């Protein structure tokens, strides 16, 4: 009798462990739901990729000039589409296993410990950094809506607008998983297409400004070089959606007949057509119409018609609400995984409520304290955005797929790695200089 019990225990233990593991996976936001459709991939990716950064592309173009500007924009579009394809392909490269999170793919390539150290810090900088920037952007855009529609009203500080913007995110952050924010993400994707279209059509309507100048902004060569480097950082920030790609794909169903990469890739193609539709007309037309007199946000340059500019800023607010949720979801997943798996907290609603409320509060507080965080992100972004988007997928591909040396795949990957490393090295230099130059005007808690 006793012997029978002894034999039965290991099986019982392993089934208990499996059941607990499944319960945790069903609760964690990335793996909770696997029934996403291909169009979820389209608008999640579009929301992640097209941030309010699109409105600074004409300014970036003015710092790079026509030739280099167009080459860098197009090259970034092609390289990031290629690296995104690699990540979609690698999601299920090991039969019977899915890499649902970026760091799991890193661990497969570099080992358990090293993989975490290579991927997680960069992913956290990108995801948390973007959330903070979106806090500031959302608050400032709300302020612009108010100031545009009511120029004679009493001025309300940006801090209060950031708090109003955050209050919406406190509620939406309680959405349990990726699929539950699909409607929010869809609205955000629609808004990004809308305000981008308003930006370039209003520029066309305004026409080319008198005495338009496409020359360098500054007479000093060093200024122009640093402005160029800073513009590289702006472009890197504009293509920063890769940090949530595997997490989006994790929500797709997968069978041997129809692996998740098929619907995922279909969605990515539509998203990238949307990205091209947003980025290229805004960058090229905005620069063509205003030359080097364009502001770092083209909606500031376009002051009329008042109602349209107010509407565009309001659309930016709706977009960054969705963008905030998409970038916050992997962070929620990391935090909740550590709490539940490592620290043995029970996977409950109250745990989720506390964790996510604290996270939103911290990003809000940071945004209020440091409203110039955007410049800071240009600096951090060079270190984190460029690797995770431009070349880390290529390094992992070379490590896991081992393409033939000097074959086409091998060469393409090395070209992407070299360009990505150059971008990672140069863009923080420009951003650091901007921070130093503008430091005298910075006001904490403004």
Residue 6 confidence (pLDDT) above 60? no
What is the residue-averaged pLDDT of the chain?
82
Q: Which range scores top for mean pLDDT: 250-259, 272-281, 298-307? A: 272-281
Tokens of 87: 């990540």
- Rounded to two decimals, the pTM is 0.84
Residue 362 confidence (pLDDT) above 90? yes
Multiple choice CATH, 32-441, 3.40.50.150, 1.20.1740.10, 3.40.50.970, 3.30.1220.10? 1.20.1740.10
Give the tens place of pLDDT for each residue, 190-216. Answer: 888 888 888 888 888 888 778 878 877
- Delimit the domains of the chain by residue range: 32-441
Instruction: Give the HSE-up count for residue 299: Cα atoms under 13 Å, Cβ half-sphere.
Output: 25
SS (H, E, C) the chain: CHHHHHHHHHHHHHHHHHHHHHHHHHHCCCCCCCCCCHHHHHHHHHHHHCCHHHHHHHHHHHHHCHHHHHHHHHHHHHHHHHHHHHHHHHCCCCCCCCCCCHHHHHHHHHCHHHHHHHHHHHHHHHHHHHHHHHHHHHHHHHHHHHHHHCCCCCCCCHHHHHHHHHHHHHHHCCCCCHHHHHHHHHHHHHHHHHHHHHHHHHHHHHCCCCCCCCCCCCCCHHHHHHHHHHHHHHHHHHCCHHHHHHHHHCCCCCCCCCCCHHHHHHHHHHHHHHHHHHHHHHHHHHHHHHHHHCCCCHHHHCCCCHHHHHHHHHHHHHHHHHHHHHHHHHHHHHHHHHHHHHCCCCCCHHHHHHHHHHHHHHHHHHHHHCCCHHHHHHHHHHHHHHHHHHHHHHHHHHHHHCCCCCCHHHHHHHHHHHHHHHHHHHHHHHHHHHHHHHHHHCCCCC
Weakest mean pLDDT among 35-44, 113-122, 153-162, 376-385: 376-385
pLDDT confidence of residue 12: 56
Taking the C-alpha atoms of residue 191 and residue 201, their distance in angstroms, rounded to an integer, is: 15
Give the tens place of pLDDT for each residue, 143-179. Answer: 888 888 877 778 888 888 899 999 999 999 888 787 7
Q: How far is CA 433 from the centre of its chain?
A: 24
């Amino acid at each position: 009798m006793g012997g029978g019990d002894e034999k039965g225990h290991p099986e019982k233990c392993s089934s208990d462990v499996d059941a607990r593991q499944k319960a945790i996976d069903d609760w964690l936001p990335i793996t909770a739901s696997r029934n996403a459709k291909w169009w979820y991939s389209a608008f999640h990716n579009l929301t992640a990729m097209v941030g309010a950064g699109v409105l600074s592309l004409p300014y970036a173009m003015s710092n790079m000039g026509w030739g280099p500007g167009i080459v860098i924009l197009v090259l970034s579009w092609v390289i990031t589409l290629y690296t995104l394809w690699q990540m979609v392909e690698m999601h299920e490269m090991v039969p019977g296993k899915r890499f649902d999170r970026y760091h799991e793919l890193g661990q497969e390539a570099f080992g358990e410990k090293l993989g975490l150290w290579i991927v997680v810090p960069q992913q956290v900088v990108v995801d948390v950094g973007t959330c903070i920037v979106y806090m500031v952007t959302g608050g400032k855009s709300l302020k612009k809506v108010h100031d545009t529609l009511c120029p004679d009203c009493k001025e309300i500080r940006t801090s209060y607008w950031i708090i109003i913007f955050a209050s919406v995110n406190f509620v939406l952050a309680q959405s349990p998983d990726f699929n539950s924010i699909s409607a929010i993400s869809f609205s955000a994707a629609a808004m990004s297409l809308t305000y981008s279209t308003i930006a370039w059509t209003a520029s066309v309507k305004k026409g080319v400004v008198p005495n338009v100048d496409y020359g360098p902004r500054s007479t000093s060569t060093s200024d122009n070089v640093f402005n160029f480097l800073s513009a590289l950082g702006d472009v890197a920030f504009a293509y920063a959606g890769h940090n949530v790609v595997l997490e989006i794909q994790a929500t797709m169903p997968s069978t041997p007949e129809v692996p998740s990469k098929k619907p995922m890739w279909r969605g990515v193609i539509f998203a990238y057509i949307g990205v091209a539709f947003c980025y290229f007309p805004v960058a090229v037309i905005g620069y063509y119409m205003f030359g080097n007199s364009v502001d770092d946000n083209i909606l500031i340059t376009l002051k009329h018609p008042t109602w349209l500019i107010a509407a565009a800023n309001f659309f930016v607010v709706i977009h960054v609400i969705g963008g905030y949720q998409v970038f916050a979801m992997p962070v929620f997943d990391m935090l909740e995984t550590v709490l539940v798996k490592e620290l043995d907290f029970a996977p409950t609603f109250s745990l989720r409520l506390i964790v996510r409320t604290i996270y939103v509060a911290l990003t809000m507080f940071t945004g209020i304290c440091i409203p110039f965080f955007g410049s800071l992100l240009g600096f951090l972004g060079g270190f984190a955005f460029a690797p995770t988007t431009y070349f880390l997928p290529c390094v992992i591909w070379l490590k896991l797929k081992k393409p033939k040396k000097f074959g086409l795949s091998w060469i393409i990957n090395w070209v992407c790695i070299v360009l990505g490393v150059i971008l990672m090295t140069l863009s923080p230099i420009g951003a650091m200089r901007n921070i130093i130059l503008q430091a005298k005007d910075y006001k904490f808690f403004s």
